Amino acid sequence: MTLAIETSCDDTCVAVLEKHKNNSTTLHYNSKITSDNREYRGVYPIKAHHSHQERLGGLVNEALQSLPIQHSEIAHIGNTLLIKGENGTNMLKKPDFISVTRGPGMRANLITGLDTAKGLAIAWQVPFLGVNHMQAHALTPRLVSALNAFSENPHNALPAFPFLSLLVSGGNTMLVNSTSLCEHEVLAQTIDLAVGDMLDKSARDILPEELLVSAPDVSYARLLEQYAFPDISNVDDYGYLPPVKGTPRRLPNTSSTRSRSILARDWAISAPLSKGDPKRSREELATIFAFSGVGSQVKRIVEETPPPGMDDVERRILARETMRVAFEHLASRVISALQSLRAQGSNTLVVSGGVASNQYLKHILRSTLDVNGFGSVELLFPPPNLCTDNAAMIAWTGIEMWEAGYRSDLGVRALAKWAIDPKIKGGILGVNGWIKETEGCEFV
Ligand code: AMP
């Protein structure tokens, strides 16, 4: 059982996860508080750091109340924590180790979590383990399978390696080929903005001001989807036609003449890197995402609209087009990767990160895979609460690393940058501070 902490960005998260002897897994506690950054209209690192300092202690305290009760006949005094609960003092099972996000992320924010984790480990005299946040995103579907079906399939977390992951969040856009616990090859990544960041910024340009001021948080891209497809339960195929190689772009099916005229004449967003790049080969282009150009085109389209500005119909079309262009760009790199990995036989694509909750993205990915001959590739979308930043994924990665024999030295420092691909520089195991507890203990 591990208690896990995640503070890499603006979410203060704590979880308690236990893997039982029969391999079934229980999430005893999983909570998050997101700092309120609305006045800045985006994540403001100092505000988020303050929020971690104010909230983390309280969340850890709350998490302790959810630790399982240790029955006195099997309790060893060193394995229990005496905690005062509503019905007097409870003897609770102590976590076997502490897991915490060590990086990548905002350095000061990481330090709040890391130092708290070290404090708990020292006070309770248990080991601690510094986890790579991106590795944790990649392993999330295995946590989901452990929570859902482990007892029926006790030896294997799913998907089994190898599998592909598309990590699409506010801070990252990455296509990763995971071949084992610590081997994650980055097949494509963004050279500028993350897709979530670009959509948040574009949403600020597209959405009417009254919607922006009433937003519950700064995840404006979520609002953008709701605005673009207000009646999502009735959306069937989005009128979407996936691009077919070698044929000109076809306009989406839309019943409204006004919509068709806007789409046909008034403006268009061109796809990232569609004109190529004289400095990069075709192969190299397939390994990069670029989103800032989409964001600046959207800004220009809105700014160049003559007064009184866009009405709701046109704003909605612009919202849909922004998402379409961004998601087709993601899909195009997925197809290139699947084509070059045909021999590996990857049959699963995991899509995680906050943007993965977008239904239009799911639709575009599925239809693009189908028309390109990858109908048999399964798409996995972990539930949104587990694929946005959370501590349950840190706990799970802690457990997988723990079982493989890894612990961290108490002297490790936070890492603002920490690649997961050994080819990029370092990789998960390429940083200092790892202790290998059990030589020869291999993860299966
Ligand atoms: P994460 O960085 O994984 O915590 O995810 C947060 C990012 O996901 C932010 O950029 C959000 O605006 C974005 N996001 C959340 N929901 C959606 C959605 N339905 N569509 C697109 N982006 C979303």
C-alpha 386 – ligand 1 centre gap (Å)? 12
For Cα atoms 338, 349, 399, give the angle at the middle one, nearest 5 degrees.
130
**With pLDDT > 90 as the criterion, what percentage of the chain qualifies?**
62
If one residue of 355, 357, 360, 364 were mutated to test the ligand 1 pocket, choosing by the most ligand atoms within 8 A of its CB, it would be 355
Is residue 164 within 8 Å of 349, Cβ to Cβ? yes
Q: Given this model, what pLDDT does residue 276 score?
A: 78
Ligand 1 contact via 202 beta carbon (within 6 Å): no
Helices 359-371 and 220-228: angle between axes, nearest 10 degrees: 70
Contacts 24+ apart (CB under 8 A), 412-417: 412/102, 412/114, 412/130, 413/114, 414/102, 414/103, 414/105, 414/107, 414/110, 414/111, 414/114, 415/102, 415/103, 415/104, 415/110, 416/103, 416/104, 416/105, 416/106, 416/107, 416/110, 417/103, 417/104
Phi and psi torsions of 152, nearest 5°? -80, -20
How far from each other are the two terminal CA atoms of the chain, in whole angstroms?
19
Could you tell me if 48 and 109 are in contact, meaning their C-beta atoms sit under 8 angstroms apart? yes
d(CA 244, ligand 1 centre) in Å: 28
Cα(73) to ligand 1 centroid in Å equals: 48
C-alpha 58/C-alpha 62 separation (Å) is: 6
Ligand 1 center from residue 355 Cα (angstroms): 4
Closest-lying ligand 1 atom to the alpha carbon of residue 168:
3
> Which atom of ligand 1 lies closest to the CA of 220?
12
- Ligand 1: residue of 219, 223, 227, 238 to mutate (most ligand atoms within 8 A of CB) is 219
Half-sphere exposure of 365 (CA within 13 A, CB side): 27
Per-residue pLDDT reduced to its tens digit, 228-277: 998 776 666 788 888 876 665 655 656 577 776 777 667 889 999 888 78
In short, whether 219's Cβ falls inside 6 Å of ligand 1 is yes
Report the predicted TM-score, pTM, of the whole model to 2 decimal places.
0.86
Supply 222's token pair: 């979520």
Residue-wise pLDDT tens digits, 113-148: 999 999 999 999 999 999 999 999 999 999 998 898
